[in-house]
Chains A and B, each alone.
Chain A
Amino acid sequence: QKTKEGFLSKISKAIAGKSTVDEEVLDNLEEALVSADVGVDTTVRIIDRIEQRVAKDKYVGTGELNRILQEEIENVLVDAPSVGSYTFDSPMPAKPYIILVVGVNGVGKTTTIGKLAYNFKKAGKSVLLGAADTFRAAAVDQLTIWSDRVGVPIVKQEMGSDPAAVAFDTAQSAVSRQSDVVIIDTAGRLHNKAHLMDELNKIKRVIQKFIPSAPQEVLLVLDGSTGQNALEQAKHFTAATDVTALAITKLDGTAKGGVVLAIADQFKIPVKFIGVGEKMEDLLVFDKHEFVDSLFSLQ
């Protein structure tokens, strides 16, 4: 995993022997956060909070400051509500539990689905995939290869067919097969394209015709190397489909994915999963503490 000979230690050096948080420390902090894609607004808010807290607590010592920094940044990240929550190992809150996976083009939706299926299956659950990306060239083939790789069934139709119809078929098949978890892939779409966003809504409504409480999860996949545009993505996908959780991919690269701090700050959506590679094992359950640590790792 990422090394974190970190920024926090760099900051510690900068403040060694000082009794207050001075400009230099705050400048360093600002640079680290903005360079991790946290964005100016959220960075300023975090820094304000740290300034207030330090003024109030009269911080002593560098160890203390490190803890304050880490805590304040972690506090921005929201936890998933405990009601209706799940882990790979625990029983699912509903059966079938339907996860609809959405996001802009190329972020890693289909790959994340493969990884999720692998993890659920490994934990002993029966999984069904739905290939509702009928648009992108070879999208169905790609998901089919994942279903073979993991060894889970897939519901599909030919390319160009109605994605809502595939989703409906999938839900129906899940009930008759008594699947535990259903994961539905959708085509990548840019959030500023209204007709494509409507299509997502239609997919959702069609599933609900069959199972009113579904989909239990709408997972928005974000590319960890995306900058401030991820905020727009969160905003529009939430408006169209009530996103319930985020997955951040490609964090095995040098990008930090800090924009999720801004998203958590503004939209209060929890991050649940992290993608750290292209293989089916390369999925982690999100851990606040480690994530904040890695924001400050130096390359």
Chain B
Amino acid sequence: MFNNLQDKLESAFKNLKGQARITELNVASTIKEIRRALVDADVNYKIAKEFTDKIREKATGEKVLNAISPGQLMVKIVKDELTELMGGEEAVFNAKGNPAVILIAGLQGSGKTTFSGKLANYLKSKKGLSPLLVAADIYRPAAMEQLRVLGEQIGVEVYIEPENKDAVSIAKNAIAESKSRNKNVIIIDTAGRLAVDEQMMTEVADIKNAVNPQEILFVVDSMTGQDAVNTAKAFNERLDFSGVVLTKLDGDTRGGAALSIKYTVNKPIKFVSNGEKMDALDVFYPERMAQRILGMGDITTLVERA
């Protein structure tokens, strides 16, 4: 795929051998190819447009060094710009508090419950904390049992009230319970919900208000398409979440949704999930993600070699 975009850009520039600068004129078809590559990677259509317009501005007038071709230079500009956009300031994850409260939210099937288990495992084994998992999904068949099984796998206690039909009160009770059980971080797994489901969005906002979390993580499937923007915006409006978790990155998706989300709500991506096992959790590397979205191998080595 890298060769693909690179080749396309090379051919877009093929008539421009010997030109020393990227100009308005010669950049036009390149911009189109880049936009297309982004949209193919599921970057939102409008965002791809805005982003490439910015690239055009940035690239125009840029001097082409002898060492690399205009196509390579363009790819490098795009990648650098994308990396910066995906990263921004360093993402800190705040698990301090007594207890620290972490709320997990997102669409159905995005990977919330699995991630809750992974996060508990990480905080326990890597940060020496004493987590309590809270089963606040009262809807999905066997959701509580699922969390219970994961807790057992990683040796973390799970707070469950099988008969309680009120997620807000489960969350509140869990905080009280964490104190008597000597837990210093609680992770609340909530039911999957659609952003357009008013009742369910109210529920999660109510949980937030009741437990005042240090961190609210929006869990999103990295295979999501154009709709990622709407969902991220809606969840952010209701929850003002503190970070994003990208899941299922062990697949072969290009993951353009990550760009759309960062661009739209400007919240840091704090973790990536890349497998079903409890240790398949990673921190986020903006540059890797930029390369992945562009379908590139390691551009820097290529540019250096040229």
Contact = CB atoms under 8 A, between A and B. Distances in A.
Given A227-B223, A228-B225, A278-B139, A35 B45 contact: yes
A156 to B, nearest CB: 13
Contact of A31 (B42, B45, B111): B45
B83 interface: no
Interface stretch (B19-27, B67-75, B142-150, B163-171): B142-150
Interface string A119-146: 0000000000000000111110110111
Most chain A CB atoms below 10 A, which of B142, B145, B195, B252: B142
Contacts of B253: 227, 229, 232
Interface majority SS on B: helix, strand, loop or mixed? loop
Given A105-B111, A137-B150, A259 B145 contact: no
Nearest to A105: B248
B109 A107 contact: yes
A33 B148 CA distance: 43
Interface residues of B, number: 47
A232 B252 contact: yes
B291 interface: no
Contacts of B213: none
A36 B44 CA distance: 10
Interface in B39-78: 39-42, 44-46
B108 interface: yes
Most buried by B among A191, A225, A232: A225
Interface string A93-112: 00000000000111110000
A34 B45 contact: yes
A138 B230 CA distance: 31
Interface of A: 31, 34-37, 39-40, 104-108, 135-139, 141-142, 144-146, 149, 190-193, 223, 225-230, 232, 250, 252-256, 259, 278, 299
Interface of B: 36, 39-42, 44-46, 107-111, 113, 139-143, 145-150, 153, 194-196, 221, 223-228, 230-231, 248, 250-254, 256-257, 276
11 contacts: A104-B248, A104-B251, A108-B109, A190-B252, A191-B251, A191-B252, A225-B224, A225-B231, A226-B224, A232-B253, A253-B195
